[in-house]
Each structure stands twice: as C-alpha cells, then as structure tokens.
Amino acid sequence: MARLVLLDRDGVLNVDRADYVKHPGELVLLPGAAAAVARLNRAGYAVAVCTNQSPIGRGIFDEAMLARIHEALREGLAREGAKLDAIFHCPDAPGPHSTRRKPAPGMLIEALAMFAADAPATPFVGDSLRDLQAAAAIGCPRHLVRTGHGAKTLAAGLPDVVLPVAVHEDLGAAVAALLG
C-alpha cells in the first residue's frame, strides 16, 4: 500500500488567478510550497495533484498549453528538490455531468488506483469546498489551507458532510501536521 498525499493545484501549490493560469509565465509558486512537497518526497510519500482545469473546456487554452504550464510547475518544484509523482486534471467546464471534475471524486479515485493507495490513509489538501467534497465522497482525510480560496471557504462555513476538516495556514503547515 503506497503512502500518498493528494493536492489541489491552484491556491495550494501556486497563486490562484481569477483569470486562470493561462500560460507558463503566469504560474507563480506560493511561498514554501516547493519545500513542503520536497519534505513529503523525503518522507517517502508519493505526491499527486488533482486539479480542475475548466479553461480547456471553456476554450481559453488547450491541452498542449496545460502540458507546458505543468512542465513549468515541475521545473519550479525541482529547483527546490521537489517532485510530483503524477498530475491528474479534468478539462471539463462546470456542469452536472462530469464524474471527474471536483466535487466529483473521479480524479481522486484514479490517483488512488494508480498508486494502490487506501482512501482513509490518503490525505487531500485543498483550498475550496469542492476539494473537501471530493475527498469526503471517498473517505480521504480533508485538509484545508487558508491560501487561495481557503480563507473565504472557511469564512463561508463548512457543511457537516465534509467534516472533520483540519485547517492550516498553508501547504507547509499542512505537511508539518501530516508528518508530525
């Protein structure tokens, strides 16, 4: 059974832009995010990202551009000795029919299967209610960071269906708590 941590991307690893990260030059890592991933790597955890990327479904950019953005993400992390073991993305625009787009748990299920990981032993770190809902749907422990949309998500109140949720200032604090 693999030790795995799942992360949202925007607002957890990098600055979340209201107009989306549309090209590699707009990707800005959050302070301490790369060091936090490196700490998970050193502790023997696989790290996978599960990210909604509706700009593809909305026609704002294509899969090739997303691949370039994710290459920039990997390069930024590598500069601090960090690596991602997988990136799962859902290109669907918002709508009721997607089984992969968070709050649906499809991407998380795929990640668990790829790494032969157990949901109750696999924390998900996100910054939005839909991250928490996806994790709760399959029994992953929920961790909310105050970065990105996290503070706003917390201020709006968390529904009982996603509780319990551990709340952290940022990814570094979340990783510190996970690793004890």
Give the start-end residues of each E strand in the chain: 4-7, 46-52, 86-90, 124-126, 142-145, 165-168
Paired tokens of 130? 């839909």
The 8-class DSSP code of residue 29 comes to B
Torsion angle, CA of 62/6/26/33, rounded to 10 degrees?
-160
Instruction: Locate 18 and state its tokens.
Output: 């209201």
φ and ψ at 76, to 5 degrees? Answer: -65, -40
Catalytic residues: 8, 10
